[in-house]
Amino acid sequence: MIKYDSNAGTFFLAGDTYSYSFRLYEGKCESVHFGAASDGVPFSLRKYTYRNFSPMIEDKRGSRSFGDMPLEYSEYGRGDYRTPAVQIEGDGFASTDYRFSGCEILSSHPQAGGLPVFRGGETLRVDFYDAVSDSSLKLYYTVYPSGLVRRAEISAGGKPFTVRRLASFCLDLNGCYEMTALVGGHGNERRRRTWKVDTGKSVLESNRGTSSHQCNPFTALAEKDAGEEHGRVYGASLVYSGSFRIEAEVDQLHNTRLIAGYNPDDFSYPLAKGETLSSPEALIVFSDSGYGGMSRAFADTIRDYLIPEKYVYASRPIVINNWESTYFNFDEEILCGMLDKLKGLGVDMFVLDDGWFGHRDDDHSSLGDWFIYSKKLRGGLAGIIKKARECGMRFGLWFEPEMVNSDSRLYREHPDWCIHTEGRTPLTGRYQLVLDFSRPEVVDNIFSQMEKILSSYDISYIKWDMNRHLTDMPDFVTQHKFMLGVYDLARRIVARFPDLFMEGCSGGGGRYDLGMMAFFPQIWCSDNTDAQARCLIQYGSSFPYPLSVSSNHVSICPNHYSGRTVPFATRGEVAMLGAFGYELNPYQLSAEEHASIQSQTEQYRRMEHLVLKGDLYRLSNPEENGIFCMELAAKDKSEARITFVQFAMQPDPTPFRIYPRGLDADAVYTVCGDVTDNEQFTGRTLMNAGMDFPEVWRDNEAHIITINKATHGTKKRV
Ligand code: DGJ
Among 313, 348, 317, 318, CA closest to 610:
313
Contacts 24+ apart (CB under 8 A), 690-696: 690/657, 690/658, 690/659, 690/660, 691/657, 691/658, 691/660, 692/655, 692/656, 692/657, 693/644, 693/646, 693/655, 693/656, 693/657, 693/658, 694/655, 695/649, 695/653, 695/655, 696/646, 696/649, 696/650, 696/653
Active-site entry in 513, 573, 615, 701: 513
Confidence of residue 714 (pLDDT cuts 50, 70, 90): low
| 716 pLDDT more than 70 | no
* Mean pLDDT confidence for 462-487: 98
Tell me the DSSP string of 685-714: HHHHH-EEEPPP-STTEEEEEEEEEPPTTP
Which residue is catalytic, options 251, 369, 503, 593? 593
159-211 pLDDT, tens digit each: 999 999 999 999 999 999 999 999 999 999 999 999 999 999 999 999 999 99
Query: Which one, of 30, 35, 28, lies nearest residue 48 by Cα?
Result: 30
Q: For the segment 619-645, what is each residue's pLDDT rounded down to a tens digit? A: 999 999 999 999 999 999 999 999 999
What is the per-residue pLDDT across 686-708, written as a single tens digit (0 to 9) for each?
999 999 987 778 899 999 999 99
Pocket probe for ligand 1: among 461, 467, 469, 559, the residue whose CB has the most ligand atoms within 8 Å is 467
pLDDT in tens, 372-400: 999 999 989 999 999 999 999 999 999 99
Alpha helices in 306-408 (DSSP H): 309-312, 323-326, 332-342, 382-390
- Please report, rounded to a whole number, the percentage of residues in the chain having pLDDT higher than 90: 92
Q: What is the pLDDT of residues 216-225, one digit of tens each?
A: 999 999 999 9
* Cα separation of the two ends of the chain: 43
| Burial (CB count within 10 angstroms: exposed 0-12, middle 13-18, buried 19+), residue 711 | exposed
Amino acid at 195: W
Q: Which residue out of 432, 523, 527 has the highest number of ligand 1 atoms within 8 Å of its CB and is therefore the one to mutate?
A: 527
Residues with CB under 6 A from ligand 1: 323, 353-354, 398, 465, 467, 505, 507-508, 524, 527
Q: Is the predicted pLDDT of residue 283 greater than 70, yes or no?
A: yes
pLDDT value of residue 718: 60
Q: How far apart, in whole angstroms, are the C-alpha atoms of residue 424 and residue 493?
A: 33
Tens digit of pLDDT for each residue in 667-681? 999 999 987 888 999
Quick: pLDDT tens for 536-593. 999 999 999 999 999 999 999 999 999 999 999 999 999 999 999 999 999 999 999 9
Closest by Cα among 330, 410, 338, 333 to 362: 330
Instruction: Write out pLDDT tens, residues 641-653.
Output: 999 999 998 887 7
Q: Are 525 and 485 within 8 A, CB to CB?
A: no
Torsions phi, psi for 607 (to 5 deg): -105, -5
Give the lowest-confidence range in 162-166, 168-172, 448-452, 654-658: 654-658
The number of residues in the chain equals 718
Task: Give the span between the Cα atoms of 573 and 629, in whole angstroms.
Answer: 11
Given pLDDT bands bounded at 50, 70 and 90, which one contains residue 138?
very high
User: Are the C-beta atoms of residues 233 and 239 closer than 8 Å to each other?
Assistant: no
- To the query of whether residue 701 is one of the catalytic residues in this protein, the response is no
**Are the C-beta atoms of 214 and 185 separated by less than 8 Å?**
yes
In tens, the pLDDT along 79-124 reads: 999 999 999 999 999 999 999 999 999 989 999 999 999 999 999 9
Give the pLDDT of residue 715.
Answer: 54
